[in-house]
Structure 1
Amino acid sequence: MSLFLGKIHYWLYNKIKWFEGIEDELLLLAEKENIDVQLLKNNLDAKYGERLEDKPLEDLIDTSNIHGWLQGRINIAEGRVAMITHEIIEKSEECLTKIYEVYKSQGIKAAKEVKAEKGTINDAGEIYNSINDYILDGMPCDRVNEVISSDNDSISWKRTIDVHEQLFHSERVDVKSFYNMRDEWIKAFVTELNNEFQYVKDSETVMVIRRV
């Protein structure tokens, strides 16, 4: 491990790579919807820059600007997904349901990874922490999510700021649609991880995982 890098940097890098996995699935959907995927990829690269190479973090990161590099890569990953999402929805509003299915399948895939590594998780707080090992919500210093209450059977948290709206708005995608997509991911993740728990929203900004 580089002397300049800590666990939190690898944690963020893995989250970015996971989000690129959602991009892969959305591109497959775009292809099925007869969108010119090669042209779309060219446009993505031109506007946001190319995806990460398949190399260890220490071989890619600018160690003189670690924070800035990671923030930039988050913006690239999210901007690319926002552009692809717009292109698919433009093709047909009915495709929104198909996008939800992509997020659901990715949520299930992530939960299976966690179960394979840790076994069954029977604590609401641990489930919440596992979610945050995958989803992108800006940098840790953004403090996007604030836990309101927590015990073994339930955890609730609120979104304090919106770090996604600007990028999705720039691609003419309602950020509420993105949050709906991510809700599908979290619901599928929680159910697959332990179906004795469920994910619900108390409001637009307050979320809950609780034992059924």
Structure 2
Amino acid sequence: MLAAIHYQMDGKIRWQDQINQEISEKFLNRPIRGLDKRPLEEIVDGTNIHGFLAQRIQEVEETLAQLVEELADKGQFEELLVFMEDKGRNENLEAKPQAVFAHMANHYLDGMPCDRVVELVSQEEDAWTWILREDVHGQYWQDPTKYWALREAYLQGLAQAASCGVQIQGRKYEVKKCMQSND
């Protein structure tokens, strides 16, 4: 039986699939097959929901890694970083650190909540800090630093969209609200 968490994970998978499509079309001038776009309840194997979702996660993660490696081989990795930062900057976010955290948590495939990959360390009105306790993405990449660079570029753009600053130390992220002067 499908639960809210399954729809949440499916939404994250579909978001990554959309990013993959955009990257392929923009940089390689070709569409990719992508995932079945029908509603989850029409395509899921009800006897193996988690296996079905895991397979789709693997597919979008591997597709992203392949696209990025192809672009890096063509010398376009820096352009891809700019694309991801711009993509983040163009999101319509409320000017709060929690909006940045929520957007990342609602879009990136960091496991199921019960996996506790994302740990919120502190949450204050003007600063949110979280850590990623493990790398669930590296297994799909020849060079996982490329994945993290893309993700961080997107996060930088999101922070700008929310009038915030971001500090990244390894897998620890702190987003702070920028104080605006009243001059």
Scaled by the length of structure 1, the TM-score of the pair is: 0.77
- 1:18-167 to 2 correspondences below 5 Å: 18-31=15-28, 37=30, 41=32, 51-92=34-75, 95-109=76-90, 111-112=91-92, 115=93, 120-122=94-96, 124-167=97-140
Deviation (angstroms), 1:125: 2.9
Deviation (angstroms), 1:55: 0.9
- Which has a greater percent of helix? 1
Question: 1:67-120 CA deviation, whole Å, 9 max, x = no partner?
Answer: 11111111110101101111111122xx111111221233234x22xx4xxxx3
Q: Which residue pairs with 1:47 in the alignment?
A: none
State the 4+ residue runs in structure 1 displaced beyond 6 angstroms.
Answer: none
Question: 1:144-198 CA deviation, whole Å, 9 max, x = no partner?
Answer: 1111111111111112111111111xxx2x2112111111111112221x21x22
Deviation (angstroms), 1:142: 2.5
- Supply the distance in 2 between the matched residues of 1:127 and 1:185 (Cα, whole angstroms): 11
Deviation (angstroms), 1:17: 0.8
- Given that 1:71 and 1:139 are in contact with CA atoms closer than 8 Å, whether structure 2 keeps it comes out as no
Of the three residues 167, 174, 180, the one matched with 1:208 is 174
Instruction: Find the residue that maps to 1:84 and give its secondary structure.
Output: helix
Of the three residues 4, 10, 13, the one matched with 2:10 is 13
Deviation (angstroms), 1:126: 4.0
Deviation (angstroms), 1:51: 2.8
- Given that 2:95 and 2:177 are in contact with CA atoms closer than 8 Å, whether structure 1 keeps it comes out as no
2:158 maps to a residue whose letter is F
- Given that 2:86 and 2:157 are in contact with CA atoms closer than 8 Å, whether structure 1 keeps it comes out as yes
- Supply the distance in 2 between the matched residues of 1:198 and 1:167 (Cα, whole angstroms): 30
Q: Which residue pairs with 2:146 in the alignment?
A: 177
Give the root-mean-square deviation of aligned CA atoms: 1.9
Q: Which runs of 5+ in 1 are unaligned?
A: 42-49
- Supply the distance in 2 between the matched residues of 1:55 and 1:105 (Cα, whole angstroms): 29
Asked if 1:198 corresponds to 2:165, the answer is yes
Pair 1:106–1:136, CA change in 2 (3 A): farther
Scaled by the length of structure 2, the TM-score of the pair is: 0.88
Instruction: Find the residue that maps to 1:68 and give its secondary structure.
Output: helix
- Supply the distance in 2 between the matched residues of 1:11 and 1:199 (Cα, whole angstroms): 26
Pair 1:91–1:130, CA change in 2 (3 A): closer
- Supply the distance in 1 between the matched residues of 2:87 and 2:2 (Cα, whole angstroms): 28
Aligned length: 178
